[in-house]
């Protein structure tokens, strides 16, 4: 563990985690995250972000391959975040992979609970297809709730017979039924997320949807013809079992899954690119995986 990661974990544990535990509601959480993202989620040099119709952000930070795209779903527990707040991690992933990123601003749960975010992700997929991208030209990615959303979209694409080239999920939230043992076992070890707020968050996100609906909990989805998937998670985070069991589910479906497990990074640590070397290393791993998968699909 680098000194900068140790410092980040300390700051998250003593300042951010208690703040999240005291946040009054999703509206306050969204406002505070937007302010903090502008200050603390760094962007790579020469980042370009274009806001185009249908609520889509197109993001790059250097030369990109022609007619290939990463469809990225941002994290934030379904109640915070946007293509704007997460443009740093998306821009860095684009720069490292040489592939442009398309990021939809899906509805936040306080405005439209599930399955609204899933419907928006499907709409973004359909829009990419309408622009001429073949399924094998599209890669899926996401962090935290967005990682779960990317995997839910992956299941839908597999079921419809048009799987993407590959998918990457950073610390994905895949089980809103909250059946993972790590929610209890890692409650103290996790430096970032307060487990005491999870049940309340789930109620906001679900609306009238059952917790095991695969549109919000891809752990319960099926993945026929699953393409390669990389899942990165930290052993100490409360959502570790969401990631671990998701990998098992995908392997049972016949998919090739690469797992990257960090011993003590915070939840969704690649978003801290520019602050900790572990974030850059993880994004490089993801970029190589996406490039290789794209090459294999298009041979």
CA-CA distance, 153 to 287, in Å (whole number)? Answer: 20
Residue 59 DSSP SS3: strand
In the predicted model, residues of the chain with pLDDT beneath 50 are none
Q: Does the active-site annotation cover 144?
A: yes
pLDDT for residue 54: 78
286 contact partners, CB below 8 Å, separation of at least 6: 93, 96, 97, 141, 168, 170, 230, 232, 270
| Burial bucket for residue 51 (CB in 10 Å: 0-12, 13-18, 19+) | exposed
Beta-sheet pairing, 100-104 with 56-60: antiparallel
pLDDT for residue 216: 98
| 74 close to 82: Cβ distance less than 8 angstroms | yes
163 contact partners, CB below 8 Å, separation of at least 6: 135, 154, 157, 225, 226, 227
| Closest to 102 in 3D by CA, of 116, 80, 78, 123 | 123
pLDDT for residue 167: 98
- Work out how many domains the chain is built from and give that number: 1
Per the residue annotation, which of 82, 144, 182, 282 is the catalytic one? Answer: 144
φ/ψ (deg, to 5) at 234? -100, 140
pLDDT for residue 298: 75
7 contact partners, CB below 8 Å, separation of at least 6: none
Query: What's the pTM?
Result: 0.97
CA-CA distance, 110 to 204, in Å (whole number)? Answer: 7
197 contact partners, CB below 8 Å, separation of at least 6: 20, 21, 23
CA-CA distance, 73 to 57, in Å (whole number)? Answer: 11
Classify each residue of 77-99 as buried b or exposed e, where b means 16 or more C-beta atoms within 10 Å of its C-beta. Answer: bbbbbbbbbbbbbbbbbbbbbbb
CA-CA distance, 186 to 193, in Å (whole number)? Answer: 10
φ/ψ (deg, to 5) at 56? -110, 135
Domain containing 12 — which CATH number? 3.40.50.1820
Q: Which domain holds residue 88?
A: 3-297
Length of the chain: 299
pLDDT for residue 5: 98
């Amino acid at each position: 563990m680098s000194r900068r990661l140790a410092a980040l974990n300390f700051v998250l544990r003593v300042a951010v985690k208690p703040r999240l535990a005291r946040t009054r509601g999703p509206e306050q959480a969204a406002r505070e995250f937007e302010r903090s993202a502008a200050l603390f989620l760094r962007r790579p040099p020469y980042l370009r972000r274009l806001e185009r119709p249908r609520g889509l952000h197109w993001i790059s930070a250097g030369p990109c391959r022609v007619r290939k795209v990463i469809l990225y779903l941002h994290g934030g527990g379904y109640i915070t975040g946007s293509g704007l707040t997460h443009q740093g991690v998306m821009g860095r992933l684009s720069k490292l992979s040489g592939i442009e990123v398309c990021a939809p601003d899906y509805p936040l749960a306080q405005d439209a609970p599930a399955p609204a975010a899933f419907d928006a992700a499907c709409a973004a997929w359909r829009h990419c297809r309408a622009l001429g991208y073949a399924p094998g030209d599209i890669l899926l990615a996401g962090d935290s709730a967005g990682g779960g959303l990317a995997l839910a979209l992956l299941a839908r694409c597999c079921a419809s017979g048009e799987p993407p080239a590959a998918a990457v999920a950073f610390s994905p939230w895949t089980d809103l039924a909250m059946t993972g043992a790590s929610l209890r076992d890692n409650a103290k070890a996790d430096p970032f997320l307060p487990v005491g707020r999870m049940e309340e968050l789930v109620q906001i996100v679900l609306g009238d949807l059952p917790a095991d609906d695969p549109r919000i909990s891809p752990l319960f989805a099926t993945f026929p013809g699953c393409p390669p998937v990389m899942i990165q998670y930290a052993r100490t985070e409360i959502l570790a079992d969401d990631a671990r069991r998701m990998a098992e589910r995908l392997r049972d479906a016949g998919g090739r899954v690469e797992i990257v497990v960090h011993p003590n990074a915070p939840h969704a640590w690649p978003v801290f690119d520019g602050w900790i070397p572990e974030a850059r290393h993880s994004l490089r791993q993801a970029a190589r995986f996406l490039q290789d998968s794209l090459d294999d699909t298009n041979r």
